């Protein structure tokens, strides 16, 4: 399965054995109650209540007398701790603990029989309490109302440290959110009590909302209120002190007027009344550290044949609505769509029907996302119970009490890459594997193996081009923000091929209105993304058009004997030397192929020009980044590009077990050599259209293999069409290796006739043959005549001037 769920916590394994052990100890001591009042058959009452920002998990269970116990599991120490016991038969709605584990907030409902009044607070359905638990001390009633209440402590820091004031959010079913400020003090040593217990100060955070989501990791509150039937998404950012800011307002083209009241990530809500509300409606907000902001929305299911969901890429300024055909015919949909945050991707799935991986970082083309319909493997791997997406890549199965870390399954994706026949799936999986690659060297080796054996398998795009561009991009992407706007991440500009079973509609959306003007961290990156959507036209992504033009100018100047200042050319060649040195330093294994071992000034000029132009491009648009960092990024990027080409060739060379004798001309080509020649030709075609540099020595090896494998007329056609470039090294070796038989002489003459004049003059002296002497003589006479013409012109000019003076 493309999604791998790694269990990070399990109530059965991490809590239940401790509870049973506590019971044994308690029975041996002849005591009862406390945290030990649990029977072997009471596991059904054990459930997770909340996962706090520091990873601690709060759970609850009931003893044989109906008492409610609260426990905490510390994921760092893997230790359990009993927090508090309510000696009443209560149902827990919500619970949270502060970071110091001194205060417990709980919202409870009395389990009343028919005709029996609530003993906790007459006339109220839900009671919200604040309990001092270090040590167990006073209990303060915060709310006693007829509506449900949810509680959540703010965690300004992940680290554990003492705070003079705690902040608690209260979320009411009556559609308002309040923040309580709780001052604490220490008495009698470690005894922590509430300082302002008589009257807690509070702020009204939000009201009249229909939906709210809590982001524990980033301490953000998202909520939606309705203004003139429009859904307005708002976000409040909480800070280390008691301050908070309304960050933005964003209109959403969805209707929530008849969807009831919905909360996301305010604890682990399993209350049956909540399940009745907005059945099958799913709405959640996902962000990542690159400044992305996505709203995922799936309305109530109205069809048994297809399901529709939308993703609002607010950081890109558009939304995408997908309509997916259900994979299992005749199977009824009993649960809604689940969205999971996987950093650069969002997983969307309906167990037994479909599983989609949506590319959030680059959503422009549908082929960058993966769409799979249901199969037995998918049904077996994904839980059928709803999963709750928490901060980061954590997901919680409330029904089983398991906390998972959701990861993309690289081994599955690599197998899928080998087996799939659809171009769209090859494209999607290639990007997916590269973006999440742990151990990139080993991972790339497997992808390179696949690329080298499937170079002609894709019809909608060039596989080598896509691999070179995508892998080079992801190798430098994490180093700095905004690189995705400046470097190409795909060789494909448009995609018109249909995806089986998927219909896509893309629409522009209104950009959010930022309510603050000074940004830090995530908000600075989001604002940068929004500014790019507003003002970045034309496209700022780098391309090699300037390099192409300048390179052709330099080659033309070389042919005519004119060359601009040596300092300019030397600087370009120095850039190439830096790239090759950087490339060699990163490669720890000796190379099998004779690459990077000759001058090949043309390729070195191309490498150096690309370094120069790419540096200028990034320096122009990457504001606030050090020049040295940009220079190193450019070296790494181009070194990566050339290293990938070398590794593709090395993989093919090693597969066919070729050796150094291939470099000699006095032998016939084999099927193995033809395979290497074929892939080199494909690499040349791929790089030529993008105007990417090749490792020095590439053209020499390509020419040698071409002489081995091609008939003479085909070889000459390849040379004339530019697919084979004659280098001085290759032709020198050809002249030395081949004898003077009629066939060899014909080949030598055909090659010499096609050489540039400067190289031809050097090569002719290596061929001891009348034809070579004839060419040398002819060239010598030509030069003499040219010099004579120049001298004659100068003489005539001088005579003309002398005559005029007379």
What is the DSSP track for 327-345? SSTT----S--EEEEETTE
Kindly report the number of other CB atoms within 10 A of residue 649's CB atom. Answer: 24
CA distance 200 to 642: 65
pLDDT at residue number 660: 66
Among the residues of 332-384, which ranges form H helices? 376-381
| pLDDT tens digits, one per residue of 588-642 | 777 777 777 777 888 899 999 999 999 999 998 888 888 999 999 999 999 999 9
pLDDT at residue number 261: 84
Q: Residue 711: exposed, middle, or buried by beta-carbon count in 10 A (0-12, 13-18, 19+)?
A: exposed
Mean pLDDT of 80-109: 91
Do 174 and 213 contact (CB within 8 A), yes or no?
no
| pLDDT tens digits, one per residue of 35-81 | 444 445 556 788 999 999 989 999 998 877 778 899 999 999 999 99
> Position of tokens 């990007």?
431
Q: Which of 385-392's residues contact partners 24+ apart within 8 Å by CB, and which partners? A: 386/335, 386/336, 386/338, 387/338, 387/340, 388/265, 388/268, 389/265, 389/284, 389/286, 389/338, 389/339, 389/340, 389/341, 390/51, 390/216, 390/265, 391/53, 391/215, 391/216, 391/217, 391/218, 392/217, 392/341
Distances (CA, A) of 793 to 561, 779, 802, 806: 20, 21, 14, 20
Do 632 and 578 contact (CB within 8 A), yes or no?
no
Residue 245 pLDDT class (50, 70, 90 cuts): very high
Mean pLDDT of 556-575: 80
Do 557 and 551 contact (CB within 8 A), yes or no?
no
**CA angle 389–43–88, rounded 5-degree value:** 95
Mean pLDDT of 691-701: 90
Q: At residue 407, does pLDDT exceed 70?
A: yes
DSSP for residue 479: G
Among the residues of 691-727, which ranges form H helices? 698-709, 712-720
Element (H, E) at 272: helix 272-276
Element (H, E) at 202: strand 201-207
Mean pLDDT of 539-543: 84
Measured in degrees and rounded to the nearest 5, phi and psi for residue 419 equal -100, -25
SS3 state at 603: helix
- What is the maximum alpha-carbon separation in the chain? 137
The better pLDDT of the pair 590, 773 is held by 590
Task: Quote the tokens at residue 115.
Answer: 């005709």
pLDDT at residue number 117: 43
CA distance 694 to 598: 13
How do beta strands 209-215 and 262-264 pair? parallel
pLDDT at residue number 189: 67
Beta bridge partners of 72: 58, 81
| pLDDT tens digits, one per residue of 204-239 | 999 989 999 999 999 999 999 988 778 999 999 998
Mean pLDDT of 305-319: 92
Distances (CA, A) of 246 to 293, 294, 396, 510, 526: 16, 18, 29, 18, 15
Helix axes 410-419, 423-435, angle to 10 degrees: 160
pLDDT at residue number 553: 86
Distances (CA, A) of 727 to 363, 697, 699, 716: 43, 9, 7, 15
What is the DSSP track for 4-26? EEEEEEEIIIIIHHHHHHHHHHH
Mean pLDDT of 258-287: 72
Q: At residue 327, does pLDDT exceed 70?
A: no
Percent of the residues in the chain that have a pLDDT greater than 70, as a whole number: 83
Q: At residue 119, does pLDDT exceed 80?
A: no
| pLDDT tens digits, one per residue of 331-345 | 556 677 889 999 899
Q: At residue 114, does pLDDT exceed 50?
A: no
**Mean pLDDT of the residues in the chain:** 83
What is the DSSP track for 508-558? E-PPPEE--S---THHHHHHHHHHHHHH--S-----SHHHHHHHHHHHHHH
Mean pLDDT of 655-683: 81
Percent of the residues in the chain that have a pLDDT greater than 90, as a whole number: 39
| pLDDT tens digits, one per residue of 501-523 | 899 999 999 999 999 888 888 99
The better pLDDT of the pair 345, 787 is held by 345
Does the N-terminal peptide bond of residue 528 adopt cis geometry, omega within 30 degrees of 0?
no
Do 329 and 501 contact (CB within 8 A), yes or no?
no
CA distance 790 to 727: 32
Mean pLDDT is highest, among 309-318, 732-741, 783-792, for 309-318
The better pLDDT of the pair 468, 156 is held by 468
Find all residues with CB under 8 Å of 386, minimum gap 6, and list them: 335, 336, 338, 397, 398, 399
Helix axes 742-752, 757-764, angle to 10 degrees: 150
Residue by residue, what is the 3-state secondary structure of 131-161?
EEECCEEEEEEEEEECCCEEEEECCCCCCCC
């Amino acid at each position: 399965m493309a999604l791998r769920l790694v269990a990070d916590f399990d109530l059965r394994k991490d809590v239940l054995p401790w509870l049973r052990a506590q019971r044994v100890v308690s029975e041996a001591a002849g005591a009862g109650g406390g945290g030990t009042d649990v029977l072997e058959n009471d596991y059904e009452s054990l459930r997770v209540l909340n996962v706090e920002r520091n990873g601690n998990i709060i759970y609850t269970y009931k003893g044989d007398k109906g008492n409610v116990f609260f426990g905490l599991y510390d994921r760092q120490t893997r230790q359990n701790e009993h927090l508090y016991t309510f000696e009443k038969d209560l149902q827990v709605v919500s619970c949270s603990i502060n970071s110091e584990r001194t205060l417990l907030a709980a919202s409870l409902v009395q389990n009343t029989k028919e005709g029996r009044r609530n003993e906790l607070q007459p006339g109220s359905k839900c009671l919200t309490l604040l309990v001092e638990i270090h040590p167990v001390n006073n209990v303060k009633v915060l709310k006693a109302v007829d509506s449900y209440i949810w509680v959540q402590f703010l965690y300004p820091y992940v680290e554990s440290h003492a705070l003079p004031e705690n902040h608690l959010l209260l979320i009411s079913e009556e559609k308002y959110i309040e923040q309580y400020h709780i001052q604490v003090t220490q008495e009698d040593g470690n005894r922590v009590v509430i300082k302002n217990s008589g009257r807690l100060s509070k702020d009204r955070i939000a009201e009249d909302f229909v939906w709210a989501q809590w982001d524990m990791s980033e301490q953000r509150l998202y909520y939606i209120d309705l203004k003139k039937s429009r859904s307005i998404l708002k976000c409040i950012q909480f800070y280390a002190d008691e301050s908070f800011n309304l960050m933005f307002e964003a209109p959403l083209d969805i209707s929530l007027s008849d969807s009831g009241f919905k909360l996301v990530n305010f604890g682990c809500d399993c209350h049956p009344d909540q399940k009745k509300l907005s059945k099958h409606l799913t709405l959640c907000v996902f962000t990542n550290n690159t400044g992305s902001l996505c709203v995922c929305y799936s309305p109530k299911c109205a069809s048994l044949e297809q399901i529709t969901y939308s993703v609002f890429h607010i950081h890109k300024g558009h939304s995408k609505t997908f309509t997916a055909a259900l994979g299992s015919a005749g199977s009824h949909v009993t649960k809604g769509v689940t969205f999971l945050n996987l950093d650069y991707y969002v997983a969307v799935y309906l167990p037994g029907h479909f599983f989609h991986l949506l590319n959030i970082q680059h959503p422009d083309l549908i082929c960058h996302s993966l769409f799979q319909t249901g199969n037995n493997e998918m049904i077996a791997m994904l839980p059928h119970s709803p999963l709750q997406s928490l901060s980061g890549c954590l997901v919680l199965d409330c029904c089983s009490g398991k906390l998972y870390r959701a990861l993309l399954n690289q081994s599955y994706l690599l197998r899928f890459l080998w087996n799939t026949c659809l171009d769209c799936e090859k494209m999607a999986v290639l990007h997916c594997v590269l973006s999440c690659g742990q151990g990139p060297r080993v991972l790339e080796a497997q992808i390179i193996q696949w690329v080298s054996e499937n170079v002609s398998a894709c019809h909608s795009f060039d596989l080598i081009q896509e691999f070179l561009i995508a892998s080079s991009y992801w190798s430098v992407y994490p180093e700095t923000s905004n690189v995705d706007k400046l470097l190409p991440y795909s060789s494909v500009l448009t995609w018109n091929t249909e995806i089986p079973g998927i219909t896509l509609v893309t629409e522009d959306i209104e950009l959010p209105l930022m309510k603050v003007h000074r940004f830090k961290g995530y908000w600075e990156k989001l604002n940068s993304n929004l500014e790019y959507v507003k003002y970045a036209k034309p496209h700022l992504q780098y391309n090699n058009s300037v390099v192409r033009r300048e390179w052709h100018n330099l080659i033309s100047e070389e042919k005519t004997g004119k060359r601009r200042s040596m300092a300019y050319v030397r600087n370009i060649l120095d850039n190439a030397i830096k790239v090759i040195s950087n490339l060699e330093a990163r490669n720890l294994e000796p190379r099998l192929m004779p690459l990077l071992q000759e001058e090949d000034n043309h390729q070195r000029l191309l490498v150096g020009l690309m370094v120069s132009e790419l540096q200028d491009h990034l320096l122009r648009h990457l504001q606030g980044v050090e020049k040295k960092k940009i220079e190193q990024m450019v070296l790494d990027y181009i070194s990566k590009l050339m290293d990938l080409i070398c590794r593709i060739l090395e993989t093919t060379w090693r597969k066919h077990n070729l050796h150094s004798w291939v470099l000699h001309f006095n032998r016939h080509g084999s099927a193995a050599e033809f395979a290497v020649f074929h892939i080199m030709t494909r690499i040349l075609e791929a790089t030529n259209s993008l105007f990417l540099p090749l490792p020095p020595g590439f053209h020499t090896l390509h020419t040698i293999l071409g002489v081995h494998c091609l008939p003479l007329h085909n070889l000459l056609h390849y040379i004339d069409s530019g697919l084979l470039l004659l280098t001085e090294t290759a032709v020198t070796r050809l002249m030395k290796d081949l004898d003077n038989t009629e066939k060899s002489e014909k080949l030598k003459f055909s090659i010499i006739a096609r050489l540039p004049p400067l190289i031809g003059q050097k090569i002719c002296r290596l061929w001891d043959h009348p034809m070579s002497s004839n060419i040398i003589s002819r060239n010598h006479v030509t030069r003499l005549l040219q010099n004579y013409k120049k001298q004659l012109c100068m003489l005539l000019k001088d005579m003309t001037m002398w005559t005029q003076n007379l």
